[in-house]
Structure 1
Amino acid sequence: MRTLVVDHPLVAHKLTVLRDKNTPSPVFRQLTEELVTLLAYEATREVRTETVTIETPITSTAGTAFTKPTPLVVPILRAGLGMLEGMVKLVPTAEVGFLGMARDEETLDIVTYAERLPEDLTGRQVFVLDPMLATGGTLSEAIKFLFRRGARDVTCICLLAAPEGLARLEKGVGDANVRVVLASIDERLNEKAYIVPGLGDAGDRLYGLAK
């Protein structure tokens, strides 16, 4: 597993405003979209392309296009939806699937409650969107789900990660071709499994439910 923390002043600035508990939900959503676009720029650096010939108004020339099949973007419901627009603005021809996962509070197992994905992901580059890599449980299970569908090239885009979550994810995916692109690796998890210093519950803050 490879991890990239994007070091850029715009990333640092937007993340700082996201962390601020006084940032209102509409601004939080807008900045999340903008931050994801910046992260996606680095996350797509290895996207597969081919040379094509096109006609400009002047002459023929060689250009670059995505290879087939095109990239697949998979937001993890619900908070990952808040990252989707920022991703597809950068890669508008990508296909979009959805994966809903939640932790069973009794068994603590990760349960898949919704999915809308191709049955066969062989040969697809998959970009998973999940804002917070905290314990790593949900993202680990999401990647395993994609592997069972045939994916072998998965890039995860997250706003923040805790060291504990990264360690669990790396242990779970082994030597598979997985990249994690982040705005920051924070200090730790607290006793409630929130990232410290973090930014709170990203889903609640995106959709105006934060206390």
Structure 2
Amino acid sequence: MIIHNLGENNSLMNKFTAEIRDVNIQKDSMRFRRNIERIGEILSYEMSKSLCFEKSEVSTPLGTKKMDLPTDKLVLCSILRAGLPLHQGLLNYFDGAENAFISAYRHHEGNEDEFEVIVNYFAAPSLQGKTLVLIDPMLATGRTLENVLKSLKDYGTPAQIHIVSVIGAEEGVEYVSGIFPENTQLWISAIDPELNARGYIVPGIGDAGDLAYGEKL
């Protein structure tokens, strides 16, 4: 897997990433969602540089201009619910993309640390020959993306897969690298060193879904 860790270079994105980590700023859920969205926009811009382009003639009021324009048929696939603000960030830039949504969540039996990932809803167009963008803000253990990959098989084979995340753990990134095709590209704003006993990224941000939309039962 090709890894693009954009947090390794100084940019305005570091400010947005710092704010979603900050326990005081996290109290403002609207700002949290907007920062996730803005990170998605920056990751989209960087990812766009890797897409396929062809020359196209554009008519202006005073003439014509040949420009290189992207040709990939994109499908943006968001993992509910935490992926929604990040999905919107990508959709702001890839406004002509098709969209897919999958529900994948952790089930802790008896509130134990061990968990399984359950997928019970998936709505998607055909993926055959298209560029699939998997949107998961927190790449922790990598098991959610593994289950999503298994669920995609009935929808066709993408020509290319990109994964867009906000924060990942080294362990999860390594795990995903071993199960996705070698030419898969990961676009991420930061990679943290470890997971805690319950599989949350440390230092991370906490539960992205709860921070964006409120705590769940």
Q: Same fold (TM over 0.5)?
A: yes
Counterpart-to-counterpart distance in 2, 1:102 and 1:192: 14
Counterpart-to-counterpart distance in 2, 1:8 and 1:59: 40
Question: Which residue number corresponds to residue 207 of structure 1?
Answer: 213
In the alignment, which of 153, 164, 174 is matched to residue 171 of structure 2? 164
**Aligned counterparts, 1:104-119, within 5 A:** 104-106=107-109, 108-118=115-125
* Counterpart contact for 2:34–2:85, Cα < 8 Å: no
Question: Which residue number corresponds to residue 93 of structure 2?
Answer: 90
In the alignment, which of 22, 38, 43 is matched to residue 39 of structure 1? 43
* Counterpart contact for 1:132–1:159, Cα < 8 Å: yes
Q: Alignment identity in percent? A: 30
Aligned residues, how many? 207
Question: Which residue number corresponds to residue 135 of structure 1?
Answer: 141
**AA partner of residue 84 (structure 1):** H
- Per the TM alignment, residue 188 of structure 1 is displaced from its structure 2 partner at its CA by 0.3
Secondary structure of residue in 1 paired with 2:184: strand
Unaligned runs of 5+ residues in structure 2 are none
Question: Which residue number corresponds to residue 60 of structure 1?
Answer: 64
Secondary structure of residue in 1 paired with 2:49: coil
In the alignment, which of 162, 180, 187 is matched to residue 186 of structure 2? 180
- After TM superposition, the structure 1 stretch with the greater mean CA deviation from structure 2, 142-151 or 196-205, is 142-151
Segments of 4+ moved more than 6 angstroms: none
Counterpart-to-counterpart distance in 1, 2:49 and 2:132: 13
Counterpart-to-counterpart distance in 1, 2:51 and 2:152: 18
* Counterpart contact for 2:76–2:135, Cα < 8 Å: yes
* Counterpart contact for 1:131–1:158, Cα < 8 Å: yes
* Counterpart contact for 1:50–1:67, Cα < 8 Å: yes
* Counterpart contact for 1:43–1:181, Cα < 8 Å: yes
- Per the TM alignment, residue 108 of structure 1 is displaced from its structure 2 partner at its CA by 4.3
Question: Which residue number corresponds to residue 15 of structure 2?
Answer: 13
* Counterpart contact for 2:146–2:179, Cα < 8 Å: yes
TM-score scaled to structure 2, two decimals? 0.88
Provide the aligned C-alpha RMSD in A. Answer: 1.9
Unaligned runs of 5+ residues in structure 1 are none
- After TM superposition, the structure 1 stretch with the greater mean CA deviation from structure 2, 51-60 or 184-193, is 51-60
- Per the alignment, do residues 14 and 209 of structure 1 end up closer, same or farther by CA in structure 2, a change over 3 Å counting? same
